[in-house]
Structures are given as structure tokens and as C-alpha cells.
Amino acid sequence: MKTAVITGTSRRLGAYLAEKLSAEGYQVFGLTRQLNPAQQYLTQIVVDYQSADSVMSAIRQLQQNGSIDLLIHNASLFEKDELHAHDSIDFYQALFAVHMQLPALLNQHLAAQIATTQGSGLIVHITDIYSENPNPAFSLYCSTKAGLENLMKSAAKAYAPQIRVNSIQPGPIMFLPEHSNSEKQQVMQQTLIAEEAGFEPIYQGVRFLIDNKFVTGLSLKIDGGRSLGK
């Protein structure tokens, strides 16, 4: 049985990927900030992403379970700068912990287990199209996602050829409940394929990266053309 480790599995994209991979026959370990009782199909490990000690405790649990075929860095914190005008330092540290420290520690300490899958081991960083073309309203978020993108490239060089490392840069796949109709319309007007695609295209991107053994160091945009604009 193949094994996948995914961060941020309690809801949205992480939950979708965990369920799809579980249905494929993967043993899925989900690193999450809170348990989801409905997710009986995966092994949930509660982690405080902002605590290096908590992350290392989770890593030790994962190290006891043998080889890992797939590691997906999905955990994310997406909020506007203006919401943290009075705690910007704490907010920035939280972004760094989730988007950069957590993936870096997992890559470093699980690489030996991923490398044992005889060249088919794969790490996927879920970044953002904003990592290349930042949105000034989310400048702190964008900068740490750019760091996650750069970390992917470094890891691709460091772990080749035993482990392939790639990123997926999502666009407007699924709006948040707090998005207003005007915000949704504005995004759609800037997207070549003007539809809310859902999470399936991201899963298809993961499947492409799993199946194509000659791809590493790739930033795969799955954004309906949003990064090009109109």
C-alpha cells in the first residue's frame, strides 16, 4: 500500500485530496490543527503548526510508519494584511510557520523515508499564483508563499534524482464563504476560463505529477488563466 502525507486536511482542498487518495488505496496521514470526526478514512495527527516542537513530534510519529510515497504541503493561512494592522509581527510569524517552517522541517526529516520509494517519491508544494504576481492586499501572505515556491526549487535540486519536488499554483478554484458577489465577479472578469472550478483540477494536477516520472522543479499553474489576466 502506498502512503501519502498531507498537511491541512480538516477542510477544503486538503480534505478533498485526502479523500481522493484514500479512495485510490493510499494510506493517508493528515497533519491538521483540529480533528475532523468525519474523516475516518485517514490517520489524523494534530499539530500546532506554529510550534517547532509540535511539528517534530508529528514527524517522529510519521518516521515510525516506514516509507512515504507522496508528501503534499497544503496547509495555508490566507488573510488580508489589513486584518492584522495591530498584530502584524505575530501574523507574519504565523504565516512563516505554516508556509515555510512546516514544509522545510517535513522535507528535511522525511526525505530519507520518501527516497526509499526507488525514485518514485514525490513532494508537492501547494503555493499560489500570487507567489509570482503578488496581490498588495495580501503582501505578507504572498511573500511567504513565494518562499514556499523557492523552497520547492531548492528541494528539487537537493533531492534529485531520488525524490521529485514540484509545486502547484492554484488560482480561483473555490471561493471562501466571506467572498462577496462583487469580489467573485471581479475575479471571474480577470480569469480566462471564467468559472469556479472546484478542487478536482488540483487533484488532477497531483495525479499528473504522480504519473509523470520525468517532471521535477515544475511550477504547475492551475488557475483558469488568471495569472495571464485579460
For residue 172, whether the previous peptide bond is cis, meaning omega lies within 30 degrees of 0, is no
Map out the domains of the chain as residue ranges.
Answer: 3-222
| Residue 189: all three cell numbers together | 472578469
CA distance linking residue 230 with residue 224, whole number of Å = 11
Of 96, 191, 203, the C-alpha closest to 146 is: 96
Side chain identity at 202, as an amino acid letter? I
What is the reported pLDDT for 48? Answer: 97
CA distance linking residue 98 with residue 48, whole number of Å = 9
Helix (H, G, I), strand (E, B) or coil at 7: strand
Q: Which residues of the chain have pLDDT under 50?
A: none
What is the reported pLDDT for 181? Answer: 83
What is the reported pLDDT for 117? Answer: 64
CATH homologous superfamily of 3-222 equals NAD(P)-binding Rossmann-like Domain (3.40.50.720)
- Threshold 0.85, pTM exceeds: yes
Beta-bridge mates of residue 220: 168
CA distance linking residue 225 with residue 191, whole number of Å = 6
Q: What is the pLDDT of residues 211-224, one digit of tens each?
A: 999 999 999 999 99
Find out whether 30 and 43 touch, Cβ atoms under 8 Å: yes
